[in-house]
Structures are given as structure tokens and as C-alpha cells.
Amino acid sequence: MKLTSLGFFAKLKWLDGQALLNHIEPYRRRLFAAALDSGQYNLVLAGRSKKNWKSADLCLAALYALVTDSPGGNQCYLLANDLDQAGDDLALCKQLVDCNPVLSRHVVVKQKVIERRDGRGFLLILPAGDIAGSHGKTFRFCGWDEVHGYKSWDIFEALQPDPHRADVLQWVTTYASLYHRPGVPLFDLFQQGRAGTDPRMLFSWYSGSYTTDPDLDLLAASAEEKANPSRASWTDPDYLLQQQRRLPSHVYRRLHLCEPGLPSGSAYSVESIEDALARGIRQRLPEVGIQYFGFVDMSGGSQDDATFGVSHVDAEGRALLDYIGSQGARPPFDPRLAVGRFAGICKQYGITRVYGDKYAGQTFITDFAGYGLDYEVSLSSASQMYEAFEPILNGHRAVLLDLPILEQQLLGLVWRGGKIDHPNAEHDDYANAAVGALLLALDQPAGQGEDSGEPEDDIQGIPEEEFGGSFLRGW
């Protein structure tokens, strides 16, 4: 009969010499039993705030996977963010072996690895940055300790589970991501977990605003209690109050409330973008009687996409994004072919005039004219448009489409040298076209488009002194 995880832990002592099970709260016991004993899952995402036994649980799970026999061998890996963290994880595993003779009878501790004495497996700490060296490995267990700083899926792609192994398990433990946008591993995994669409994924999450633990959600009196399920084990009852006083609020939220953050200097907040997204709506089809506006962000075709956004103003005075798309083919592409694609979109929405920047001089003005479309150059730079968009976004006067690339780019915009721009090696082409189209819809004289019923000196319900008058066009 296979030894269960809690049966295994019952044989061990913690570093203080007390029985290990005395240090494992009920919620963690349930997690271990589901992840290690049920055989149902091959991926665990466990999110909690700092100082809630995340790394300890990862190390305990790895040691269990190391010593319980697997038909394919017991190859176990732990990936840490940096050398210090890797050293901490390895040191904890070594300490657990040292204080538990039942473990030392089965494994031998070496400088950078813990090996089974029968030669059938090992526990090795890998640097997360060694992507090339991680390809092709087969493993019984692979754990990631803190993925909040990951910006790409590269290391996950390098260490995918072997489909020939029935007992393979990946375990990700972390607090909330620095980069809360689609395409970032933790963001994508969190969304998958909440959706519940992967039956082999075990999702365990504790944050100030969301938890998968229904008992804790019902009983918790504060966000701190929801995000820190092991708070009762702390010896300092004022620890969080101390941290709240010492840390910037956005750092405190991410570390101790497990709420997502963004890089320093982000232009927009996570909450404002999420509030503006119309989840499930990827395009709004054209309707009779609505005036639509189009904004284009052209490119040379080598690296950036050429993008086109369409918007209108609804009866409530909000700017709604109806369409956002690119040239279709991935770069490199012929940018003049993109003009033809966008002209077709203009025809669908009854648009006869598009706006954009002065990229490539008169080239695209002439190209759009060939399709019977006027092209007017925007009076504002991209940074100026992003600045003008912020109060509209925060005032709930814009409604976005549910497109991951758009959400990703908007959340990635940062302040750089007094201007809002995308970080190096990233893009803002979808964000530019979307924001331009939304501003364009609002930047019109009263009486054009849908009748807002507002006085002539208002722009769709937004006073000129607040919006800044004709921002994009100029009359």
C-alpha cells in the first residue's frame, strides 16, 4: 500500500524537533492530500502571501516525491528565482534530512543535490534562467518557488511533463505577479484556475480579494486574514501592521495581500483596466444609425503590427470600442496591404475618414485615398493620448473589448522620462489604436454621432474644460 503524504509527514520532525504535523494546518493538509495522494492532478498552483509556508510546502512535497518509489525514477527539480532563493530552498531540504534519520536512511546529502541511496532519483535545485539547459528533462516532480517575476513561458515550455509518466507532478507556489497581464505565466495560470476548465489542475489561492477556500472566505473578517491563512502560526501578532507602515502600499498589497501589481511607474492601475473590460466581448458588429470613428496605428511592417480601432459613443456618453485588429499576417508584412484590410473594416462600419499619426509622411495618406478614405494626422502624440485617456478610464467613460493582447499592452504602459510609453522590447500598437479610437469618439462637437442631449458647449457629456477641448482634431 502506497504511503500517503500525511502518513509520510507523520514520521518526520520539524526543525524545532517537534512533530511535523503539529506545524501543518488543516488547509495545508487538504492541499497535500489532494495534490500528492489523489492521483487526479499533474499541476498545482498554490498562491499565498509571504510567510505562509509556501516554500516549506514545496520542499516537503519534493521530498515526498523523492523518497516514494516511482516506476520511472524519482527525478525531482526545484526552480528558484535567484541564487539566494535556491540556496534557501536547498538548505531547508538539507536541514530536514539532517534532523530526520528516517530520511537520511534513504537519501544522501551532497553539496548541490540530494540523492537517493539506491541511485533511483535525486532532488536538484535549478536556476530558473537556465532555459536551454532545462529542455528534454523527464521528472517525477518539478516545483517552481515564486514565479511572480516571470514575464514569459520559456522555462515552463522547457520543462513540460512527460506524457509517459502517470505520476508526474508540477507544483507552482508564489505570491501575486508583478506583471498582471495576459501572456504572463502567473496571470494565465490564475485565469485558468478561476475558470476551472482544466480538470488536472489543482488551484489553491489565498488573497485579500479572492480565495478558493470557502470556509476562510465566509469567516474572514479582513483581507489580511484571507491572504494569510497561516497567520495564527506567527509569533509576532503585529507583523502585518509593521509591514504596512514600512512598505509602499503597492508593495504591501502584492507581498502581504497577494494582490497583483505592476512594474514601478505603470501608467494605469489593474483595477481601472479590469473595470473597463467587457469580458466575453471581442467585437461589436456595426449597427444602423450609429456613427463610428476609426484610428489607425501604421507601421513599416518589420517588427510592429499595423493596427486599426473602431469606436462609438453610446447614449450614456461612454466611448465603446467596437473593433481592434491588425494586418493579419505576422511581421514582416507589406504595410500597404494592411491599408486594404483596414479599408474593408471602414466600409463595414460606414467610416469615410480615419485618423492616425504622421508615420511615413504622406505615404499612407495617399494609400488610404486610393480606397476613397480621408486620412487625417492626429494632433497628439501617443504619450499625450495615453495621458488624456487616464481620467476617462478612471471615470468609467470607456468600455474595452476582451482581447488579451490589448489588455496586456495597456497594463504594460509605463512612465518613462515624463512620457507614457511601452517598455523596451515590448509593444503598444493595439493600445495606441484602441486609445486613439476611444478618444476620437469623445472628441467630437455635440450633435454629431448619437444625440447625447447635452448642451452645445459639451463634448458628449464631458465639459470642454475637463476634457481639454478638441484633443485629436482641432476645429
What residue ranges do the domains of the chain occupy?
5-256, 272-467
Please tell me the distance from the alpha carbon of residue 455 to that of residue 358, in angstroms, as a whole number. Answer: 33
What's the pTM?
0.64
Q: What is the pLDDT along the chain (475 residues), one digit of tens a residue?
A: 678 999 999 999 999 999 999 999 999 999 999 999 999 999 999 999 999 999 999 999 999 999 999 999 999 999 987 777 788 899 999 999 999 999 999 999 998 899 999 999 999 987 766 544 555 688 999 999 999 888 889 889 888 888 999 999 999 999 988 777 788 899 899 999 999 999 999 999 999 888 999 887 666 668 899 999 999 999 999 999 999 888 866 678 889 999 886 666 788 887 788 889 998 899 999 999 999 999 999 887 677 889 999 999 999 999 999 999 998 877 778 878 889 999 999 999 999 999 998 775 577 899 999 999 999 998 889 999 999 999 999 999 999 998 878 887 898 888 888 899 987 767 899 999 999 999 999 986 433 333 333 333 333 333 433 333 455 554 3
Domain at 272-467, CATH from 3.30.420.240, 3.40.50.2300, 3.30.2040.10, 3.40.50.720: 3.30.420.240
Please tell me the distance from the alpha carbon of residue 150 to that of residue 72, in angstroms, as a whole number. Answer: 30
Please tell me the distance from the alpha carbon of residue 42 to that of residue 393, in angstroms, as a whole number. Answer: 40
- CB distance 328 to 342 below 8 Å: no
CA 415, 418, 421: angle at the middle one, nearest 5?
A: 40
Residue 278 in 3-state DSSP? strand
5-256 homologous superfamily: P-loop containing nucleotide triphosphate hydrolases (3.40.50.300)
394: which 3 cell numbers? 478612471
> 215 vs 10, 28, 240, 333, 348, CA distance in Å?
25, 14, 22, 54, 52
Please tell me the distance from the alpha carbon of residue 76 to that of residue 73, in angstroms, as a whole number. Answer: 9
Q: Quick count: other Cβ atoms within 10 Å of Cβ 206?
A: 26
418: which 3 cell numbers? 515624463
Edge-to-edge strand ranges of the sheet holding 374-377: 277-278, 398-401, 319-326, 307-313, 293-297, 353-356, 374-377
- CB distance 57 to 46 below 8 Å: yes
Q: Which residues contact 279 (CB under 8 A, 6 or more apart)?
A: 402
